[in-house]
C-alpha cells in the first residue's frame, strides 16, 4: 500500500474558445481580501493605483455575490441584503459580460477567489479557472517557503 503526495494536474490546460491573446487581467484573492496575485497582459487604461484597484475589484465581487444570493428565486430563507452569509449559504455567479470585456469568477469554499478579465467574445472559462486553482495548489500551497496569506512572489 502506498500513500500521499504528488499531483494529478490534468496534462494540458483546457482548450478555450476564441483565439489566444484575449486576456486582460487576472486576480487571485484570499478570503481576507488580500490580493495574492495580479497580472495584466493588455490594459491600456489605468485610472487607479494598484491597491485601490484591487480593493474595488474585491468589493465588486463581494457585493455582486450578495446580490445574486438575494435574487435567488429557489431558496426560501435569506437574510437582509448585505448580511454576512454563512458558508454553504447562498449562490454565486460564474461570469458577467459587458460590451467591452468579460469577467469570469471562481471561488473555492476556502475563500480563494480567482478572476479572469478577458475579451467579451471568450467562451466558458470555468474549466480554465479550475485549472488555475490546481496550479495554485500545486505550486503555491505546496511550496514550503510560501507563507499562507501573503502575496505570491
Partner 1 sequence: MAPIAPRSGDAVFANVERVNAELFTLTYGAIVRQLLTDLEEVEEVNKQLDQMGYNIGIRLIDEFLAKSNVSRCVDFKETAEVIAKVGFKMFLGVSASVTNWDADGTCCSLILEDNPLVDFVELPDTCQGLYYCNVLSGVIRGALEMVSMKTEVTWVRDMLRGDDAYELKVKLLKQVPEEYPYKDDE
What H or E segment, with its residue span, contains residue 73? none
Residue of 81, 88, 82, 131 whose CA lies nearest to 111 = 88
- Which residue number, 120 or 124, has a Cβ lying nearer to partner 1? 124
Tell me which residues in 116-145 interact with partner 1 (CB under 8 A). 124, 126, 130, 133-134, 136-137, 141-142
Tell me which residues in 26-85 interact with partner 1 (CB under 8 A). 31-33, 55, 58-59, 62, 84-85
Asked whether 95 and 105 are in contact (CB, 8 A), the reply is yes
**Sole residue written with cell 469570469:** 104
Tell me which residues in 88-117 interact with partner 1 (CB under 8 A). 88, 108-112
The reply to whether 6 sits near partner 1 by the rule CB under 8 A is yes
Strand order in 35-40's β-sheet?
35-40, 23-29, 113-118, 102-107, 95-97
DSSP state of 99: S
Q: How many residues bind partner 1 (CB under 8 A)?
A: 35
- Which residue number, 27 or 58, has a Cβ lying nearer to partner 1? 58
Alpha-carbon distance of 153 to 135, in angstroms, equals 15
Mapped onto helix, strand or coil, the DSSP state of residue 81 is coil
Q: Which of 7, 42, 75, 150 binds partner 1 (CB under 8 A)?
A: 7
CB of 151 to partner 1, least distance (A): 15
Asked whether 5 and 114 are in contact (CB, 8 A), the reply is no
Write out the residues near partner 1 by the rule CB under 8 A: 1-8, 31-33, 55, 58-59, 62, 84-88, 108-112, 124, 126, 130, 133-134, 136-137, 141-142, 148
Amino acid at each position: 500500500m502506498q500513500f500521499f503526495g504528488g499531483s494529478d494536474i490534468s496534462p494540458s490546460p483546457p482548450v478555450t474558445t476564441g483565439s489566444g491573446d484575449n486576456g486582460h487581467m487576472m486576480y487571485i484573492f484570499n478570503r481576507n481580501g488580500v490580493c495574492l496575485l495580479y497580472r495584466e497582459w493588455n490594459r491600456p487604461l489605468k485610472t487607479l493605483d494598484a491597491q485601490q484597484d484591487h480593493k474595488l475589484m474585491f468589493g465588486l465581487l463581494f457585493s455582486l455575490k450578495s446580490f445574486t444570493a438575494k435574487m435567488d428565486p429557489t431558496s426560501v430563507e435569506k437574510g437582509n441584503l448585505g448580511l454576512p452569509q454563512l458558508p454553504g449559504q447562498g449562490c454565486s455567479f460564474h461570469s458577467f459580460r459587458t460590451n467591452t470585456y468579460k469577467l469570469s469568477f471562481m471561488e473555492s469554499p476556502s475563500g480563494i477567489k480567482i478572476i479572469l478579465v478577458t475579451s467579451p467574445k471568450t467562451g466558458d472559462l470555468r474549466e480554465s479557472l479550475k485549472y488555475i486553482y490546481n496550479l495554485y495548489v500545486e505550486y503555491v500551497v505546496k511550496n514550503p517557503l510560501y507563507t499562507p496569506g501573503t502575496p505570491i512572489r
